Structures are given as C-alpha cells and as structure tokens.
Amino acid sequence: MIKKVQNYYIALVIVGLVLGVLLAVQFRVTSNLQGQKTPGVQRAQTLVTRVNEAREKRDDLQQQANGLRQKLDKVAAGVELGSMKDELMLYRIEAGLTGVTGSGVEVTLNDSNMVVQPGGNPNLYVLHDEDVLEVLNELKAAGAEALAINNQRLLSTSEIRCAGPTILTNKNQRMTPPFVITAIGDPDNMVNSLKMRRGVVDNLQDWGIQVNIKKVSQVTIPAYSGGLSYEYARPADEKEAGQ
C-alpha cells in the first residue's frame, strides 16, 4: 500500500514538472511575441499607416476641389465672367486668332503695264517685296488695326520677302501679283496717308506700278491660319518684367 502511495506521489511530481516546463515555454513564447513584432505584422501595420495617410490626403484634395468648384460657380454666376470674355476676345483679335470685320480700305497692287524701253531695267517695272512692305508700313502708321494680303492675315511676326518671282509671307504662303491688301481702320486716315505728296503711292506710280485704292464700309479679314510656336520666348514674371 505504501509503495502505491509513493508511486502516486512520484507520478504527481513528474506531471507537475512537465506542466511547469510547458507553462514556462508558453510564457516565454508569448513574451517574445509581445516584445518583438514579426515581419508580417510590421508589414501589415505599415500598410495600414499608408492607407490612413492616403485617406487623409484624399480628403484634403477633395476639400480643395470643392473650394475651387465653389469659386468657379461664383465667377460663372457673376459679372466678372463677361469682362473676362471681353478681355480674352480682345487678346485674340490682337493676336490675329479670330476673324474681324469693320470699315477700312482695299489696296490692289499690280506690275506696271508700261512698255520697257530698249536698254531699260525691267526690274523697275515689277512689284518687289519692299514695295509691298512700304504700303503695309504706311497703313500701320495710319492706324490700321488688322491687315491681310491676298486673304492671308498678317501678324507682327509675318514676313514679306522675295522668293524668286513670288512674295513669301507667313512662312509658306507664296503670292504673285496682283496683291490685294485689306486693312481695317479709319478709311480717311489710311487713304490720305497713302496718297500724300511724294509718298509711297507716288513713288510706285512713277514706274507705272498699278495702284488702286478704295474705301470700304465693311471689310472682313480672316483669322491667322498658320501655326504658332515659340522656341525661345517665354512669359516673364513680374520681377523680370520690371528690370
């Protein structure tokens, strides 16, 4: 009987030792997990942080978009939009990007119909690029607000130069006489400027160049049809513009 009791206590001791070892191991593993995060846990927490940051950024952008939309609605509903449209249209007219109409003049230039005398220089009796350029400059000086030659709108960058028997303008537009120049502005000022004594028309007619000038109550000049590109010019900020 005593031996059975002893065996029983020994068994209890062994079970107790085993349970103690298991509890110790479990406690250590749990402590390690709590004290040190695994890579998977760290990755998950990083993703959660990024998601929260993205949500905050989205909310900020949404608020900005709402604010800009409110400003746009306010401008569209107010009188400022009308003035902005008028200002934009004025810039488009000055840039030649829209067709214009108004009173003005029409000047037709053609080669001389005089017979060249023997030994004479035939080049003196035909139109050259500088002849056309002088007429255009005179019209500008007289207040022309828009100009076209043979229905090609002229800009501040439009060239008038000789290209063999033709005149070249707007990079690739070749023209031959007769040249029809249309100008919008004060008709009286422009006609008087062209016809002034010993002016541009007098000089051309000395060589028999045919010049016909007429006032028109309504002339239409089309928009510039070529391409626009600026490789070197760029907008100047206020500081640069003031220097």
Please list the rounded mean pLDDT of every run of 10 residues in the chain (243 residues): 50 61 62 58 77 84 80 67 75 86 97 78 84 95 96 93 90 92 97 92 90 95 85 75 56
pLDDT score of 105? 98
- Mapped onto helix, strand or coil, the DSSP state of residue 58 is helix
pLDDT score of 5? 44
Unique residue bearing structure tokens 């002016």: 199
Sequence-ordered list of residues with C-beta below 8 angstroms from that of 102, at least 6 positions apart, any chain: 145, 146, 184, 185, 218, 219
pLDDT score of 11? 58
Could you write out the DSSP letters of every residue in 155-196?
Answer: -TT---EEETTEEEETTTEEE-SSEEEEEES-HHHHHHHHTS
CB 184 within 8 A of CB 146: yes
pLDDT score of 195? 93
What are the angstrom distances between the C-alpha of 227 and each of 94, 143, 235?
Answer: 16, 26, 19
CA distance 80 to 215: 38
**Topology given in CATH for the domain delimited by 101-221:** Alpha-Beta Plaits (3.30.70)
pLDDT score of 56? 86
pLDDT score of 38? 60
Q: In what order do the strands lie in the sheet with 100-110?
A: 152-153, 146-149, 179-184, 100-110, 210-221
Unique residue bearing structure tokens 């043979």: 150
Note the residue count of the chain: 243
pLDDT score of 4? 46
Region of residue 156 (phi > 0: left; psi between -120 and 50: alpha; otherwise: beta): alpha
Q: What letter represents residue 105's amino acid?
A: V
pLDDT score of 189? 96
Region of residue 164 (phi > 0: left; psi between -120 and 50: alpha; otherwise: beta): left
Helix (H) or strand (E) segment spanning residue 84 = helix 80-95
